[in-house]
Amino acid sequence: MVPPAPFAPMSFPALVGDIGGTNARFALLSDAHAEAKLFDPVRTGDYPDIETAIEESVFALTSVMPRSAVIAVAGPVQGDEIDLTNAEWVIRPRQMMQRLGLDDVVVINDFEALALSLTSLGDDLLQKIGGGAADDHGPKVVIGPGTGLGVAGMIHASGIWVPIPGEGGHVSFGPVEPDEFAIWDVLEPEHGRISAEALLCGRGMVRLYRGVARSQGAEPRFTKPEEISDAALAGNDPVSRRTVDLYCRLLGRAAGDLALTFMASGGVYIGGGIAPRLLPILAASEFRTAFEAKAPHEDFVRSVPSWVITGERPALTGLAAYARAPALFGVSLDGRRWTN
């Protein structure tokens, strides 16, 4: 088998899929110019593997059978068996090709796919929270709290956009403001430490909530992130509101750190499912104060715009853009593309 050229076009029809720790989302492109046909999201836990999910939630609902697939997964892409970080599925591209009749499969990181969408998201899919104007060709970065905490960058070089995947959600995280130290003293470690993901993903919000409750001598009432956010939005539980206020501050701190890491003059984007839900609080919170508190570089960070991605399924937008015109993006396919 001869490896495909780096920017070899995909065969159509093409299936694109965004596989997260909780949900899997799919769409079909009949050709390079067609609008994507979207299918209802499914829960990964409801299916034993990706092939069954595609057969039952896509193939059973259309007569258009794809010849290729571009799949984004929540986890690093290494080898012929790809484990998802926060789900039980193992993606086996050669098995997918045989079982689903595909000739060509590309697998990338899910936040790499989200980064691919950053050049095509319209104002109607974004809510700006502070900062100045974006540099059109400046580096961009996306951070997304959801089942996990994904991070990716997007760099413009030699006339193309190059997504930079990573596992930046697992960096270590510590207290800064005086009121945070008492909470950190009672936080439950994850894998022996406190990472950004351990506080900013869904289960992280629950961990933070328990820490806030313990630091105040209160009894935790809730066990799910949506319960905490609902109570905070309703204003009927002080511990939940304190948790969400602190959560917004910590999210801003992490996002500002990434703005510095990437010198992201093109902006910082907040993806995932949590931030849009918290917009009424997030927009008025200490998010930008923490984002900009980066002495001695606060002047630069203050100029960096930040947005919450409010549109649904933005990763599918990025995958579709790549499938239509891979030559516009510098996506490394080494070890990540399988062909017949």
In single-letter form, the type of residue at position 45 comes to: G
For the stretch 291-300, what's the b/e string if a residue is b when 16 or more beta carbons lie within 10 angstroms of its beta carbon?
A: bbbbeeeeee
Does 151 lie in the same domain as 108?
A: no
Cβ count within 10 A of residue 75:
20
Does 184 lie in the same domain as 69?
A: no
Does 33 lie in the same domain as 59?
A: yes
For position 31, what pLDDT does the model report? 94
pLDDT 10s digits, 298-328: 999 999 999 999 988 899 999 999 999 999 9
For position 5, what pLDDT does the model report? 47
pLDDT 10s digits, 15-61: 999 998 788 999 999 999 999 999 999 999 999 999 999 999 999 99
Note down the domain range covering 69: 14-116+334-339
Is 6 a member of any domain?
Answer: no
Within 235-306, residue ranges assigned H as helices are: 238-262, 274-277, 279-282, 287-292, 298-303
Residue pointed to by tokens 């190059």: 162
Residue 338 dihedral angles phi and psi, to the nearest 5° = -120, 130
Does 108 lie in the same domain as 127?
A: no
Report the alpha-carbon distance of residue 195 to residue 271 in Å, rounded. 18
What whole-number percentage of the chain has pLDDT above 70?
97
Give the mean pLDDT of the chain: 93
Is 53 a member of any domain?
Answer: yes
pLDDT 10s digits, 230-286: 999 999 999 999 999 999 999 999 999 999 999 999 999 999 889 999 999 999 999
| pTM as predicted | 0.87
Domain CATH number, residue 27: 3.30.420.40
